[in-house]
Structure 1
Amino acid sequence: MAFRDGPFENLKVPLAWTAAVVVVVAIGAAVLLLITDRPTSDGAAGYADARGATEAVAGPVGGVFAAPVRWAGAVTDFVGGYFFAVSENRRLKAELAELQPWRDQAIALKNVNARYEAMLGLRTEPAIPMVTARAISDVRGPFNRAKLLDVGSSKTVRIGNPVMNEHGLIGRITGVTGGVSRMVLLTDVASRTPVLVDRTDARAVLTGDGSDNPRLEFVRGVGSVQAGDRILSSGDGGGLPRGIPIGVAAKGIDGSWRVKLFSDRGAIDYVRVLLFQDFGQLIDPNALNAPPLAGLTTAPEPTAAQAGAIGDAAARRQAAAQAQAERARAAAAAPAPVATPPRPTPTPTRPVATSPRPPQARPSAPSVAAPAAQNAPAPAQPAPAPSAEGRI
């Protein structure tokens, strides 16, 4: 017998009342569960066992029913990806073409940042101010090896400043303008750099000859250089700071010692210019006056006995100076002796020629008078010459 053939065949219940009754019953059941599900004295919930059993049974059942749903979703994705693979491939190719320039720029910026970080990590002992520069032009030839840098006198760059990169010394500044400077490399024929051998501290001169490996000349000491020795700047002459790495010594084909430069390990495009003038800028004058160097630059305080001796010596020097000044004033005040003027020497008068007169007879004189006249002394002063009228 069907449900419609029973006694409730003509029974009609309003839907709203049915829903209201269901809601009320559900609310009542929820309130009852909340009230009765109070923790016990030992802290356990009232329906903990029933809840645990229900979850233990419902878990595997839910997994079994969820498996077909997951499988259906995977099959749908596979079928959708198969049918839309062509359009997805085209979209990915378009995105790859757009990202290709960005990837190249990222690689270039990464290299530049690595170079900058390496150069910023350069430290000198003691610290020397530096300026970062970029090479904007390169001059290479059989004799010339130079570069132009984009810094000049506006950045306090001067002629003679050393230039280095993250590997070692490169060259020196030989010309400066307001915004550009000229750098001569160590391989230029005009380059002369005083260097030392790190192992033996032997001195030499690094001379450029236009090749990639400059020569070591004027090496002091026999056997002071060996293959593989590190070559550093010596600082002799005050043009460069001491200890900047330059390269490694190697034997050339011609038998001379040459240097494999550290700067050849990479491109010379970003460099650091050391604003080095002389060794005076590397020393703090206040540090020289600090102990224990203070006694070497300043005189110690004299003791009481030394101060007394110094005062006595100063007093004696002052008294001697005063006495010498008194003698000088006395000598200046004494009358000077009157000097007798020399008597004038008479000028001989030239005799006047007269007419000859007849000679007269002279009395004869004894023969002894002639010798006496010859031995007679000459008069002290010559007699005045007679006038022309009184002459015979």
Structure 2
Amino acid sequence: MAFRDGPFENIKVPLVWTAAVSVAVAAVLAVFLLFSDNGAEASPYQPARAGVETVSGPVGGVFAAPVRWFGHVSDYIGGYFFAVSENRRLKRELAELEPWRDQAIALKNINARYEAMLGLRPEPAVPMLTARSVSDSRGPFSNARLLDTGAAKGVKIGNPVINEHGLVGRVVGTSGNVSRMLLLTDVASRTPVLIDRTDARAILTGDGSGNPRLEFVRGVGSVQPGDRILTSGDGGGYPRGVPIGVAAKGIDGSWRVKLFSDRGAIDYVKVLLFEDFGQLVGGADLNAPPLAALDTLPDATGSQVAAINDAAARRTAAAQAQAERVRAANAAPPPAQAQAPVRQPAGPPPARPAAPPPAQPATQQTPPGATE
């Protein structure tokens, strides 16, 4: 039966009103997408965007709750039916991990002793803040989430976000009580990383897929399948040593990373209140001169300061004496040139014949001495 033969054949929809309503709905959607877009961090629409995120955060949490509950119920039912096989697998893994645990404890003790002997300082602790993911913003080129904590609790743009498995992403926008987290898989994500086995540097680049790529890897053969990927801390955006995933060879031949954070749902996360290394060491240590002045040393080194001052005074006196000797040596040649002409007239050949006359009286005095 055709539409015109049905009960609605006499309904007439005004074309003008239909077009007006369509334009209004499209304008509202465009404004919503403009305010909720996170493509540009610095935008004149940032205050309005923050308001939209503040409102959409709790609403998204309400709509996301049934999905999380359904996931928990399905996991519970699956775990109930597969409890026996899961128990066997866990016992087997526990037996395999016990030797590794003992080795890890022994190595930890040895490292602590080495650090104490060498005077090394371990990595400082980073303050953390627990948050909950209340919404999921996904698309062909965007992977981001909203967290139910914001600038009111100290969250700032650039703070790393982790879960119980590893690094998840970083904060790219904040408002009062809501912040936006950019996942590692987003096309705008760039993370400096290192390969744990070879300490080679690389850049972890998101491309919208579930496994980001490793680019600009330094060194030939520095990456192998199964190598652990950690944050390198280069640039000061991330702390060093945060686990990310393991390396794997992609179908296209490029190196990719299987993220640790995909092992479980990203419901509860921790925001590292980390900006850069200067936040952890203090401004006084960073602004201190390379070498402290001698007069600022503690009283316990007073004898050392006196010895250093005496040595400096002796070196100064020796340098002055050397300078005086050099000046005296430079002034000595003119007198030597003045005596040379005087010696030349005293030694001409005519003066030498005058020596025999004194010798004659000596020969005359000898006979009287002999007669006596």
Short-chain TM bin:
0.3 to 0.5
Higher helix proportion (structure 1 or 2)? 2
Specify the structure having the higher radius of gyration (Cα): 1
Indicate the structure whose relative CO is greater, using CA pairs within 8 Å and at least 6 residues apart.
Answer: 2
Q: TM-score, normalising length from structure 2?
A: 0.47
Q: TM-score, normalising length from structure 1?
A: 0.44
